[in-house]
Amino acid sequence: MQAMQGQPEYQQYNIDNNIGNSNNQQPEDNIINQNNIQYFFANPVNRIIAEIIDELLVVTVAFIVGYTLFALGINTTNLPKKELVDLVAEITFVIIVIFLFVYRTVCEGILFSATIGKLLMGIRVVNHEGKKLDLMTAIKRNLTKTLPEFIGISILFHVLNLILIIATSKKQTVQDIVANTYVVVTYTSMQKFR
């Protein structure tokens, strides 16, 4: 499918009949579903912007939590400021990682099949059948995504995921491969491209 002039190009796959529509896409690159729906893989730019939006939301929450903990610490403890700042930073880091995991899992596995960033970018996460994620799949996907953040290799993990999105025919990241999921353009966002 040719994208309209000035619009991003999406890689199309047909979930119904297992026949690829992209020049380099093989039939086995498609996912099969009984719903007769065509989805398009989300492009890397939309995925990156969605991730940035989500990270900004988390940083905002972290700032509020960190500031609150620091203010409470100053008023309730006799720790020197340096030790208090270090303690608050460590606690805030753990809270951020836990919040990220819960936020992503609840949004993708229970609520919308997408985080707020993905919703704003018109993309969502689907399982290998093109359906909404169940809770266990969302947990597997987001545990795989959150663990590198917890052990401090987040930047390396993001670089690896970017390489995979560009290099794989299904535009999957590590967490997508582990959980057998895909990030696709939502139907309503595709209406404006038709």
Q: DSSP characters for 129-183?
A: TSSBPPHHHHHHHHHHHHHHHHTT-HHHHHHHHHHHHHHSTT---HHHHHHTEEE
Phi, psi of 175 (to 5 degrees): -65, -30
pLDDT of residue 98: 85
CA 125 remoteness from chain centre: 8
Domain ranges of the chain: 43-191
103 CB neighbour count, 10 Å cutoff:
18
pLDDT of residue 22: 39
pLDDT of residue 105: 93
pLDDT of residue 21: 38
| Pair 149, 157: CB distance under 8 Å | yes
pTM above 0.85, yes or no: no
pLDDT of residue 188: 53
pLDDT of residue 187: 59
Q: Which residues of the chain have pLDDT under 50?
A: 1-34, 189-194
